[in-house]
A = this chain, B = another copy of it.
Amino acid sequence: MFRNTMPRYEVLSEDAMATLDKGWRRLMSEIGVEFMDERALDLFRKAGQKVEGNAVFLDPDFVLEQVAKAPAEFDLQARNPENNVHIGGDSMAFGAVYGPPFVREGDVRRDGTMNDFRDFARLAQSFSVLDSAGGVVTEPNDTPLDSRHLDMTYALQTLTDKIYMGNVVSGVNAADTIRMTEILFGSREAIEETPALISLINCNSPLRWDDRMLEAQFEYTAANQPVVLTPFIMMGAMSPVTIPAALVQQITEALSGIALSQLIRPGAPVVFGSFLTNIDMQSGSPTFGTPESGIGLLCTGQIARHFNLPFRTGGGLTSSQVPDAQAGYEALMTLMPTFLAGANWVMHSAGWLEGGLVAGFEKFVIDAQLVEMLQHEFTPMEIDEASLAFDAHQEVGHGGHFLGAMHTMERFRTCFYRPFLNSSDNYERWMRNGAKDTATRAGEIYKKKLEDFEAPPLDDAIRQELEEYVTRRRAELGD
């Protein structure tokens, strides 16, 4: 997996951080956070926090004590150990888009299906820059609602040998996902010792954690599986319009969720989550790749480090309907700050289109290209005497060229990163090759990947046990 050992780009001064610190302390203790779950309220009450209705007024110092129990870094095991992932520190792990009900391939936009889900899982397996297909890579609308978490988990387990995300629609779904993961890894103990699932717990921002998400959090945290506590903030709608206010709210929400996890199981792995952008104040539409979201992202990294927590943010976000210029530059407007901030867990790294409503096949390839380019850009170069190539200058002299120099011949195969999608063909050659734009070339690449796909090997007995589990549970769930 990728380690980002380049410097972090930090934009908050110490004064600014102190102001934010004062801000979340006040918000946490005076406005408080709602938890729509009795068990959560009980835990907070027993820990001496003030609870009124569903609102918990948390003592900031108590919160920091809980936060200090969470590990700063942790491992996640994949069924192929080569695909194990480390969350935190310099590590950056990348998962595909999460949640879109629709898909786009070429000019066609339609409901996502289970077949699409499987194809995206296959693509995530095929692109080595991705550490995970994520979770709901598209909503499989053609499968029964109550049991589709079983089908999705089974697809992630069998079509990929990378880490995957847990279903969070309900506590029941979470329990099923954990049970299927126990089957894949052999036992509950095996996954409690080294977690194998990472799950997204979204806040119903502002300042409310909803019942179903909390149910899922209880299941996952009790099983020592990491949860990504994520304020879901579109500034102007779910938070005030000022970035500092959104940051303060984000801290309050994330830390309150993290404190809960530590009450459920002290030391359980958690991730400081961030999904932060702004709406267009004229239309109310969410917008992505905006200057405000870029700044918010950079600040989020600095804030997570301030609390010594791994963090999630970023991705290839865009509002664009199609994989065009806007899709390309908006994706990068988020992905570049993602690398500058050194985000540890990057959801939506590939395939996000149309504000997250659409999983795009061509966009998936474009984003994989961007992540790969950035991984190369954020790899420090070596600077030593040999790299200065004085001998090459002696050989070439003034006004010549280095194409045939010894120094070049020794290095030409590996010296520069070679993209798989970008074209640098000259005009004549590009015309001869069909004058294909980037989306067209991306379409050819994903189709070839799917044609060539071979599922990673899986023990027959495990596969059978998983299938039996899915069949039995589907029947129990009435589908």
Question: What is the interface of chain A, defined by CB distance below 8 A to chain B?
Answer: 6-7, 9-12, 15-16, 19-20, 23, 26-27, 30-34, 54-55, 109, 204, 206-208, 235-245, 248-249, 278-292, 294-295, 319-333, 336, 340, 354-355, 357, 366, 370, 373-374, 376-377, 379-385, 387-390, 392-394, 396-403, 405, 407-408, 411-413, 415-419, 421-427, 430, 435, 437-439, 442
How far apart are the CA atoms of A417 and B16 in the complex, in Å? 22
User: With contacts A9-B9, A320-B423 known, is A388 near B242, CB below 8 A?
Assistant: yes
Least CB distance from A138 to B in Å reads 16
How far apart are the CA atoms of A385 and B238 in the complex, in Å? 20
- Determine whether the beta carbon of B332 is less than 8 Å from that of A411: no
CB within 8 A of A416: which of B236, B355, B384? B236
Contacts of A204 in B (CB 8 A): 399
- Determine whether the beta carbon of B287 is less than 8 Å from that of A422: yes
How far apart are the CA atoms of A437 and B440 in the complex, in Å? 14
Contacts of A383 in B (CB 8 A): 12, 15-16, 19-20, 244
How far apart are the CA atoms of A328 and B330 in the complex, in Å? 9
- Between A and B, 13 residue pairs with Cβ closer than 8 Å are A6-B11, A7-B10, A19-B385, A206-B393, A207-B398, A240-B405, A241-B415, A242-B389, A244-B384, A279-B416, A283-B424, A321-B435, A357-B427
Least CB distance from A90 to B in Å reads 15
Contacts of A243 in B (CB 8 A): 381, 387
How far apart are the CA atoms of A324 and B415 in the complex, in Å? 27
Contacts of A109 in B (CB 8 A): 427
- Determine whether the beta carbon of B405 is less than 8 Å from that of A237: no
- Determine whether the beta carbon of B408 is less than 8 Å from that of A240: yes
CB within 8 A of A329: which of B236, B331, B389, B439? B331
- Determine whether the beta carbon of B377 is less than 8 Å from that of A291: yes
User: With contacts A320-B423, A332-B336 known, is A393 near B281, CB below 8 A?
Assistant: no
Least CB distance from A444 to B in Å reads 14
How far apart are the CA atoms of A17 and B208 in the complex, in Å? 50
- Determine whether the beta carbon of B294 is less than 8 Å from that of A415: no
How far apart are the CA atoms of A23 and B385 in the complex, in Å? 8
How far apart are the CA atoms of A425 and B326 in the complex, in Å? 13
Contacts of A280 in B (CB 8 A): 416, 418, 424
How far apart are the CA atoms of A196 and B435 in the complex, in Å? 43
User: With contacts A206-B396, A332-B333 known, is A389 near B245, CB below 8 A?
Assistant: yes
Contacts of A244 in B (CB 8 A): 381-384, 387-388
Beyond the given pairs A109-B427, A321-B427, A329-B332, 12 more chain A to chain B contacts, judged by CB atoms under 8 angstroms and listed by A's residue number, are A20-B388, A206-B399, A206-B400, A237-B403, A241-B402, A242-B411, A242-B415, A243-B381, A278-B416, A280-B418, A290-B416, A291-B376
> A10: nearest residue on chain B (CB-CB)?
B7
- Determine whether the beta carbon of A398 is less than 8 Å from that of B236: no
- Determine whether the beta carbon of B387 is less than 8 Å from that of A242: yes
How far apart are the CA atoms of A442 and B325 in the complex, in Å? 10
